[in-house]
Amino acid sequence: MEIRFAKNEEAVISRELWEYCFNDSFTWTSWFFSQPYKPENNLLAFLDGKIIGTLQTEPHNIVLRGQQIAAAYMFGLATLPGYRGSGAGVALLKEAYLQNKNRGQGVAIMSPFDPDYYYPKGWSWCYYRHFYKQTLASLAPYATKSQGEWEILANPFLAIEVLQHIYKTWLWDCNGYSLRINEQWQTILADHAIEEDKLALLREDGQPSAYIFYNIKNECFNIKEMAWLDPKAAKKCLYFIYQHGSQAKFWTWAAPTMPEIVLLLPGLKKGPELKPFRMGRITDFQTALELAAYPEDGSLDLEIVDNMAEWNNGLWHLQVTNGKCTVSRSKKSQAKITIGAFTQLYFGTFGGKDLAKADILTGEDTAIETLNRLFPSQVNYINEIF
């Protein structure tokens, strides 16, 4: 089996495979393969000269532990019927991990179609969301009755600079979020347009202070993304939603797990449901650790178990000094963990003590305590679909 990146002329075949395996609309698929799609990010699997599988691995910069980390967003893993079970999916993932390593991308993220397929391949849940579905009437106690100056933007592409300012300010103390640049905003806005989403922008004293991406379908006000500069603007967002009572009976939101959002809506009779949202995987252990920042010094010897990326597998020595980590091979181990579980530790989804209590991280107490200090828990957020 041959795995390689696509050539320009193979985009048509890749699209046909995508259309067969996924249920995206013709409009969306046409847009994707004409604009954000790049053959140099599309891995193809060949058997006897025939394309039987595909995987997209897009470069993506995210903020982890205060540092910009080069990452990959993987999506669209698909194999033709008749070749499923042939090992094409595994081969595509292995090649993607290697290409990520060669590109200096220490981590990868994805929205999995089947989490059970990815668990044994080193992936784990790193992003969770609070899923709300409430009546519009439930917002009445929390909505500030000061409307502010709202505008439904006819051309959101002219507001990218404003959106970026609100987005970055809103996420200043979050982890794992995408570092959106102009090109990514262009893609995000085009995707929202295809989905027929609206964008409402709030101004206070003439200055932009919040935005909401949303749609109204089946009597439901669906929040796609909502961001604000301060709590006052957040409450005005709630009032804006509440005012749609003639068009919707319910509101939904896959909200970040930020404490301030839970505190913003303290008395809801039906609380949010915590659900997994995005998976992550460390594709290059050494690169990922050496790019991150650390709150204190420490050292330990650690065994990583990775059955799909042999360059990660084995014994490592971690030495953290002045906030930076030096990673080298070791001949001993004080603790042992799979690459998937370590990814959760690295992202801050769970702390070292949490993983040890679940018997996922094993080893000496001192080593577990060191990992707990070096990788404190974080509030993770990402909203990109590719």
One domain, residues 137 and 268: yes
Domain span at 362: 283-374
In a domain, 40, yes or no: yes
Site of tokens 């200043």 = 172
Alpha helix (H) ranges present in the chain?
11-21, 26-34, 88-102, 115-118, 160-170, 182-194, 231-242, 259-264, 285-291, 339-347, 352-357, 365-374
DSSP of 119-164: GGGT-EEEEEEEEEEEEGGGGTTT--S---EEEE-S-GGGGHHHHH
Q: What is the mean pLDDT of residues 306-333?
A: 97
Q: Are residues 269 and 174 in the same domain?
A: yes
- CATH, residue 136: 3.40.630.30
60 with 141, same domain: the answer is: no
Q: Are residues 241 and 196 in the same domain?
A: yes
Count of C-beta atoms within a 10 Å radius of residue 314 = 15
- Report pTM: 0.94
Residues 93 and 140 in one domain: no
Please check the confidence at residue 238 and state whether its pLDDT lies above 80. yes
Regarding whether 260 and 346 lie in a shared domain, the answer is no
pLDDT in tens, 79-125: 999 999 999 999 999 999 999 999 999 999 999 989 999 999 999 99
Q: Are residues 134 and 272 in the same domain?
A: yes
pLDDT reading at 359 higher than 80: yes
In a domain, 360, yes or no: yes
**pLDDT value of position 23:** 86
Sign of CA dihedral 82, 74, 109, 25: negative
**Could you give the maximum distance between any two Cα atoms of the chain, in Å?**
68
Residues 348 and 259 in one domain: no
Q: Please check whether residues 101 and 231 belong to one and the same domain.
A: no
In a domain, 386, yes or no: no
What pLDDT is stored for residue 347 in this prediction? 98
Mean pLDDT on 267-279:
90
Q: Using 50, 70 and 90 to split pLDDT, how confident is the model at 41?
A: very high
Q: Is residue 239 part of a domain?
A: yes
> 262, 277, 292 — which closes off a domain?
277
| Same-domain status, 89 and 27 | yes
Query: Is 119 a domain residue?
Result: no
Is 125 domain-assigned? no
Q: Which amino acid is residue 127, in one-letter code?
A: Y
Instruction: Please report whether residue 157 resides in a domain.
Output: yes
Give the count of domains, the chain. Answer: 3
In the prediction, which pLDDT does 147 show?
67
Whether residues 270 and 293 share a domain: the answer is no
